[in-house]
Amino acid sequence: MSGKEWREVGRQSLYFLLAAAGMVLLAIVGDRLSHTPISGERIAILLGLWLLMFSMFMGLSPFAMDSKQKGMEYLLTLPYSRRRLLLIKLLPRLAAVILFYLAFAAFYGLAGNAAFGGGFTVFSLTCFALFLISFSLAVVHENFIIQSLWAGVALCGYLALCLWVCVLGFAWKFDMPASWIEPRIWAGLSYDTPTLLVSIAVFMLLATPFIVSFFLAFKKFDLKPARTFNRRQFRLFLPQLLVACAVAMGVTYLVQSHSPGWEPRHFLLSGQRLLKADFPGKLTLFAEDGRRAVDTKSKVSWARLLLEQERRLFMSGFDRHDGSRIIGYLDKTDLSWKVLHRIPRTYAVANGDLGIRFDGANFVYLYSRPTEQGGLAEGVRPSGAFSAMHLVWVDPASGQSKTLGFQTPSGGRNNEPWLMGSDECNGRRYWLVALRGPSVLRLWADGRCEELGLSERIPVYAGGLLFTFRRGSLVVIRLLESGIEIVKEIPGNFGMGNPYFFSLGDGQASEVYAERDERIVRIDLATMSIDDVGPARGFLHRVPPGDFYFVEFENWPPQSNDKWNKLYRLKGGRMILLKQFDFNEAGHGYLIVNANGVEMIQSPVKDGKVAKATQRFFAFPDLRELRFKGLD
Amino acid sequence: MNQSLIEVHDLRLGYTRKRVIDGLSVSLRRGEWAVIAGRNGAGKSTLLRALAGVLLADGGSILRSAEATPEKIGFISDRFSLFEDWTVTRAIGFHCRAFGIGSFDDGLLRRVGIAGKTRIHDLSAGERAIVHLSLALAQRPSLLLVDEVLHVLDPFVRDLFVGALIEAIAVRQAAVVTVNHVFSEIERLPDRVLVMEAGRFAVDAPPDELRAGMKKVIGREPLPQALPCLFSRADGEYKEYFIHPFQEEMRREHGLDFQDVALGEIIKAFIGGGYERKRMA
Q: What is the DSSP string of A39-84?
A: -HHHHHHHHHHHHHHHHHHHHH-TTHHHHHTT-HHHHHHSSS-HHH
Instruction: State which residue of chain A sits closest to B14, comparing Cα positions.
Output: A224
Subunit contact B81:A228, Cβ cutoff 8 A? no
Q: Is the ipTM of this complex over 0.95?
A: no
The CB density around residue A379, as the number of other CB atoms within 10 Å, is 10
Query: pLDDT-based confidence at A377, cuts 50/70/90?
Result: very low
- The CA distance from A279 to A300, in Å, is 7
Subunit contact B81:A4, Cβ cutoff 8 A? no
Q: Which of A1, A79, A224 sits opposite B71 (nearest CB)?
A: A79
Subunit contact B84:A70, Cβ cutoff 8 A? yes
User: From the candidates B56, B99, B149, which should be mutated to test the interface with A, based on the most A CB atoms within 10 A?
Assistant: B56
Instruction: State which residue of chain A sits closest to B132, comparing Cα positions.
Output: A74
Q: Is the distance from CB of A72 to CB of A226 less than 8 angstroms?
A: no
Subunit contact A70:B99, Cβ cutoff 8 A? no
Subunit contact A77:B75, Cβ cutoff 8 A? yes
Could you read off the pLDDT of A231-274 as tens digits, one per residue?
999 999 999 999 999 999 999 999 998 887 777 888 999 989 99
pLDDT recorded at residue B246: 87
- The CA distance from A155 to B208, in Å, is 63
Query: pLDDT-based confidence at A396, cuts 50/70/90?
Result: very high
- The CA distance from B8 to B28, in Å, is 8
Run of H or E residues at A451: strand A449-454
pLDDT at A437 over 70: no
The candidate with the shortest Cα–Cα distance to A499, out of A537, A535, A455, A529, is: A455
Q: Which of A1, A76, A220 sits opposite B54 (nearest CB)?
A: A76
A231 at the B interface (CB within 8 A)? no
A173 φ, ψ (degrees, to nearest 5): -65, -45
Q: Would you call A287 exposed, middle or buried from its count of C-beta atoms within 10 A (0-12, 13-18, 19+)?
A: middle
Most confident range, picked from A319-323, A404-408, B106-110: B106-110
To the nearest whole percent, how much of chain B has pLDDT over 90?
43
B177 φ, ψ (degrees, to nearest 5): -120, 120
Mean pLDDT score, A192-215: 92
pLDDT recorded at residue A112: 58
Subunit contact B98:A71, Cβ cutoff 8 A? no
Give A73's contacts in chain B (Cβ within 8 Å): 49, 54, 77, 79, 81
pLDDT at A539 over 50: yes
Q: How far is B195 from chain A (nearest CA, A)?
A: 24
pLDDT recorded at residue A382: 43
- The CA distance from A624 to A627, in Å, is 10
A222 at the B interface (CB within 8 A)? yes
Could you read off the pLDDT of B214-262 as tens digits, one per residue?
898 888 888 888 888 888 888 778 888 888 888 888 888 888 888 888 8
B77 at the A interface (CB within 8 A)? yes
Q: Which of B69, B79, B85 sits opposite A69 (nearest CB)?
A: B85
Run of H or E residues at B265: helix B263-270
Q: How far is B118 from chain A (nearest CA, A)?
A: 15
Instruction: State which residue of chain B sits closest to A222, comparing Cα positions.
Output: B55
pLDDT recorded at residue A506: 60
Q: Which residue would you say has higher pLDDT here, A568 or A181?
A: A568
The CB density around residue A59, as the number of other CB atoms within 10 Å, is 28
Query: pLDDT-based confidence at A216, cuts 50/70/90?
Result: very high
Could you read off the pLDDT of A480-530 as tens digits, one per residue?
888 889 999 999 989 887 766 667 766 577 899 999 988 999 999 889 999
Q: Is the distance from CB of B150 to CB of B180 less than 8 angstroms?
A: yes
Give B73's contacts in chain A (Cβ within 8 Å): 77
The candidate with the shortest Cα–Cα distance to A57, out of A11, A3, A119, is: A11
- If DSSP codes are grouped into helix, strand and coil, which group holds residue A630? coil
Instruction: State which residue of chain A sits closest to B119, comparing Cα positions.
Output: A69
pLDDT at B118 over 90: yes
Run of H or E residues at B112: helix B107-112
Instruction: State which residue of chain B sits closest to A221, comparing Cα positions.
Output: B56
Q: What are the percentages of helix, strand and coil residues in chain B, rounded to 5?
A: 30, 30, 40
- The CA distance from A256 to A250, in Å, is 10
pLDDT at B138 over 60: yes
Query: pLDDT-based confidence at A426, cuts 50/70/90?
Result: confident
A7 at the B interface (CB within 8 A)? no
Q: How far is A71 from chain B (nearest CA, A)?
A: 5
pLDDT recorded at residue A225: 86
pLDDT recorded at residue B281: 46
Q: Which of A73, A79, A225 sits opposite B15 (nearest CB)?
A: A225
pLDDT recorded at residue A380: 37
Query: pLDDT-based confidence at A372, cuts 50/70/90?
Result: very low
Q: Which of A1, A69, A228 sits opposite B16 (nearest CB)?
A: A228
Most confident range, picked from A203-207, A257-261, A413-417, A603-607: A203-207
User: From the candidates B49, B54, B85, B86, which should be mutated to test the interface with A, based on the most A CB atoms within 10 A?
Assistant: B54
Taken in order A248, A249, A250, A251, the sign of the CA dihedral is positive
List of residues 6+ apart from B97 with CB closer than 8 A: A1, A3
- The CA distance from A312 to A253, in Å, is 38
Subunit contact A78:B99, Cβ cutoff 8 A? yes
Q: How far is A4 from chain B (nearest CA, A)?
A: 8
Three-point CA angle B58, B61, B67, nearest 5°: 130
Pairing of strands A538-543, A547-553: antiparallel
- The CA distance from B177 to B187, in Å, is 15
pLDDT recorded at residue A608: 65
Q: Is the distance from CB of A314 to CB of A305 less than 8 angstroms?
A: yes
Q: Is the distance from CB of A449 to CB of A407 less than 8 angstroms?
A: yes
Most confident range, picked from A105-109, A233-237, A413-417, B125-129: A233-237
Q: What mean pLDDT, rounded, does chain A reach?
A: 86
pLDDT recorded at residue A87: 94
B208 at the A interface (CB within 8 A)? no
B238 at the A interface (CB within 8 A)? no
Pairing of strands A312-319, A300-308: antiparallel
Instruction: State which residue of chain A sits closest to B52, comparing Cα positions.
Output: A77
Most confident range, picked from A53-57, B168-172, B206-210: A53-57
pLDDT recorded at residue B279: 60
Q: How far is B155 from chain A (nearest CA, A)?
A: 27
B122 at the A interface (CB within 8 A)? no
Q: How far is A235 from chain B (nearest CA, A)?
A: 16
The CB density around residue A62, as the number of other CB atoms within 10 Å, is 23
A223 at the B interface (CB within 8 A)? yes
pLDDT recorded at residue A317: 92
What chain B holds in terms of domains, given with CATH numbers, is 4-205 (3.40.50.300), 208-277 (no CATH)
B256 φ, ψ (degrees, to nearest 5): -95, 165
B57 at the A interface (CB within 8 A)? no
Give B53's contacts in chain A (Cβ within 8 Å): 76-77
The CB density around residue B267, as the number of other CB atoms within 10 Å, is 23
Query: pLDDT-based confidence at A383, cuts 50/70/90?
Result: very low
Q: How far is A153 from chain B (nearest CA, A)?
A: 25
Pairs across A and B, CB distance < 8 A: 65
- The CA distance from B202 to B104, in Å, is 39
Could you read off the pLDDT of A82-117 as tens digits, one per residue?
999 999 999 999 999 999 999 998 888 776 565 565
Query: pLDDT-based confidence at A386, cuts 50/70/90?
Result: low
Q: Is the distance from CB of B133 to CB of B109 less than 8 angstroms?
A: no
Residues in chain A: 632
Run of H or E residues at B52: helix B44-52
Q: Which of A181-195, B147-161, B195-209 has the lowest mean pLDDT?
A: A181-195
Q: Which of A3, A77, A228 sits opposite B54 (nearest CB)?
A: A77
Subunit contact B98:A1, Cβ cutoff 8 A? yes
The CB density around residue A622, as the number of other CB atoms within 10 Å, is 9
pLDDT recorded at residue A609: 67
To the nearest whole percent, how much of chain A has pLDDT over 90?
47
Q: Which residues pair with B152 in a beta bridge?
A: none
pLDDT recorded at residue A376: 34
pLDDT at A24 over 50: yes
Give B15's contacts in chain A (Cβ within 8 Å): 224-225, 228
Subunit contact B16:A224, Cβ cutoff 8 A? yes
Could you read off the pLDDT of A575-591 as tens digits, one per residue?
999 999 998 776 678 89
B residues 123..142 contacting A (CB < 8 A): none
State the alpha helices, DSSP H only, in A78-221: 82-111, 120-136, 144-174, 193-218
The candidate with the shortest Cα–Cα distance to B214, out of B258, B181, B245, B252, is: B245
Pairing of strands A597-606, A614-619: antiparallel
pLDDT recorded at residue A463: 83
Query: pLDDT-based confidence at A184, cuts 50/70/90?
Result: low
What contacts 24+ positions apart, CB below 8 Å, involve A32-35?
none
pLDDT recorded at residue A546: 79
pLDDT recorded at residue B222: 81
Q: Which residues pair with A465 in a beta bridge?
A: A462, A478
- The CA distance from B225 to B217, in Å, is 14
Mean pLDDT score, A133-157: 92
Q: Is the distance from CB of B55 to CB of A222 less than 8 angstroms?
A: yes
- If DSSP codes are grouped into helix, strand and coil, which group holds residue A355? helix
